[in-house]
Amino acid sequence: MAVCNVCFRHCKIEEGELGFCGARTCRNGSITAANYGRLTSLALDPIEKKPLYRFHPGSRILSAGSYGCNLRCPFCQNSEISWGEETAYYSARAELVTPKELAETAFYYRNRGNIGLAFTYNEPLVGWEFVRDTAKLVHEMGMVNVLVTNGTASLEVLEELLPYVDAMNIDLKGFTDRYYRDVLKGDRAMVMDFIARAVQGCHVELTTLIVPGENDSEQEIREMASWIAGLKDEDRNIIGRSVPLHITRFFPAFHMTDRGPTPVGKVYGLAETAGEILDFVYTGNC
């Protein structure tokens, strides 16, 4: 048995078993990524789909996904490869690739407008070793790396990745401990610490999905935007106002079908509230 230190759960994993995320295991007494190099998804996407609106706009990026996640969002859009009942099916059929092979694939698509590689679709941090090893090679080929993440990881993991990651979109899913703990099965403080350090090392944009009855109050969005506005760089200069925030619309999905889509007016209204504090606020799914 060994203890995984990727996130706040600190799973104690028995030899050959999997942690909560379904992607980390214990082999010969040490924690390792069971999903290392195992791809379930690969697509050439517009950079805006990540979403990243202020990082190489108009370009495309090769996007790769594996399997596993350390949250339990009941509205998950990628449940088949994250934590749904079908995850075991897709993980067993994941294609095994090496960091070199994936980096070379990204390079191959440069003639189609590709600027690099995005680690996305599932939660890439539960397999951070593959992200690090591949991203290093992508940099050596003169391309960029993007991370789309829920930010639920230790600062030690983040430090391993920052030298090779050029941009991140990080989910700041809400701004109450209740929502993170009871609905997402996560830890808001860990995500906030992750964001505060990430903005010092690379371009960061944030995304908040507005779920009716959960995180849709004007007060919560105002508090969130105020916290973002106070983020600082390594020299302690306040840079948070310029961190882009994406306010996106919820649609019923997966295990959360007990409510309708977020009213469009609510999304625009909350974006307007955040825009009173932040310089760049965008709406999505409207």
Domains delineated in the chain: 38-284 (3.20.20.70)
Please give the distance of CA 19 from its chain centroid, rounded to a whole number. 19
**What's residue 260's pLDDT?**
97
For the chain, 286 residues long, the average pLDDT of each consecutive 10-residue run is 97 97 97 98 98 98 98 96 92 96 98 97 98 98 98 98 98 98 98 98 98 98 98 95 98 96 98 98 96
**What's residue 232's pLDDT?**
96
**What's residue 63's pLDDT?**
98
**What's residue 31's pLDDT?**
98
Distances (CA, A) of 226 to 26, 191, 259: 41, 16, 29
**What's residue 60's pLDDT?**
98
**What's residue 253's pLDDT?**
95
